[in-house]
Amino acid sequence: MGSGINISKIIGYGVLSPPKGVNISKVVGYVVLDTVQLVSIAVTPNTKTLKAGETQQYTATGTYNNSTTQDLTSVCTFTSSDTDVATIASGGLATAVDDGEVTITATYGGVSGTATLDVITLESVYLTPSNTTITEGDTQQYSATGVYSDASEVALAAASCTWASSNTTVATIDSSGFAVSLADGQTTITATYGGISGNTTLTVGAVVVAEVATRLFGIVSFATANTYRDATYLSKRYEFNPNSIGVMQVLATKYPVTVDLVFPDIPYTITTEVTSKKPVRVKGFLMEAVEVRVNPLEGVTAVYLASTMEELPI
């Protein structure tokens, strides 16, 4: 055989037989076959994060010792290191099951490749806007956001959530998270996604935001809408007189603001629409216990009540 031939690589050789009658036997050719071997398998995607219930198709690509590659997905054996976290079918389709991390392995011909799969689960849902107040007949569009086990937040498709109102006489809500108010009161709006629920309170109508001391007028201030902060009461007392005149000033970021002074012990209500921060005179200013109701609440920072302009603090 020719020099330089590695005999261990000769798979076979041919012997050319001479014509009949010719007494010669000689090797005139040989075939050398280099064995092509699989050296590695790459599994893609190499790293992936899925939400529980989602799927991922994996691909296995083999690399040989002659630098060629081949798709081995259909012939590999796929396994998951923890089937409680994720499972994988024979064709490489993985399904996320529960929170955790697994190793996906593809094996063929004694050679293996791996990839990492993280599975996250939904832990909570919150609604936007939160704890709102609207007037009767108004509407409110809600959105839902899911918080996952890796602390990531994902906007949830409204149509994929189940929406509910705890009191449909106060407000209803449709499958897209669109609420319609019907009557004064409160209801709890709930969105459920993947078995996890979040909720918020919807208040309809004018809301009591403060109460002035019995038989005294005062200055009612609010740190934030719907939160009573401070009251400096005037010392004067008043007799009931629906024809008496008082003054009121409302500080707000937007107008008009409707203010109801409700005297439940009489009963009697004074309703005034305030269009600016300029003080207004109110006929029927009374003593007795009074509830101050402001609508809308958003943007209102203070309501000042006094018997004369001089008694207003600003």
Residue where one domain finishes, among candidates 205, 225, 250: 205
Query: Is there a domain that residue 9 lies in?
Result: no
Query: Is there a domain that residue 11 lies in?
Result: no
- d(C-alpha 16, C-alpha 280), whole Å: 122
Query: Is there a domain that residue 20 lies in?
Result: no
Higher local confidence (pLDDT), 305 or 57: 57
Residue 207 has pLDDT above 50, yes or no: no
Three-state DSSP at 97 gives coil
Query: Is there a domain that residue 1 lies in?
Result: no
Same domain, 70 and 130: no
- Label residue 82 by pLDDT band (50, 70, 90): very high
The predicted-structure confidence for 143-169, as pLDDT tens digits, reads as follows 999 999 999 999 999 999 999 999 999
Same domain, 234 and 187: no
Whichever domain contains 43, its CATH number is 2.60.40.10
20-24, 181-185, 261-265: range with lowest mean pLDDT: 20-24
Residue 93 has pLDDT above 90, yes or no: yes
Cα atoms in the 13 Å half-sphere on the side-chain side of 80: 24
Query: Is there a domain that residue 60 lies in?
Result: yes
Residue 287 has pLDDT above 80, yes or no: no
Residue 301 has pLDDT above 70, yes or no: yes
Cα atoms in the 13 Å half-sphere on the side-chain side of 4: 0
Whichever domain contains 146, its CATH number is 2.60.40.1080
Same domain, 140 and 190: yes
Domain that holds residue 179: 125-205
Mean pLDDT for the stretch of residues 248-276: 81
Whether residue 314 contacts residue 242, with contact meaning beta carbons closer than 8 Å, is answered with no
Q: What is the pLDDT of residue 205?
A: 72
Query: Is there a domain that residue 210 lies in?
Result: no
Q: Among 230, 272, 222, 228, which Cα is nearest to 251's?
A: 222
Strands of the sheet containing 245-252, edge to edge, are 228-233, 218-222, 300-306, 245-252, 280-283
111-125, 129-143, 148-162, 287-301: range with lowest mean pLDDT: 287-301
Same domain, 194 and 220: no
pLDDT, the chain, mean: 78
- d(C-alpha 307, C-alpha 219), whole Å: 11
Residue where one domain finishes, among candidates 120, 142, 162: 120
Number of domains present in the structure of the chain: 3
Same domain, 136 and 65: no
Same domain, 132 and 112: no
Same domain, 194 and 151: yes
Query: Is there a domain that residue 271 lies in?
Result: yes
Residue where one domain finishes, among candidates 73, 91, 120: 120
Same domain, 47 and 101: yes
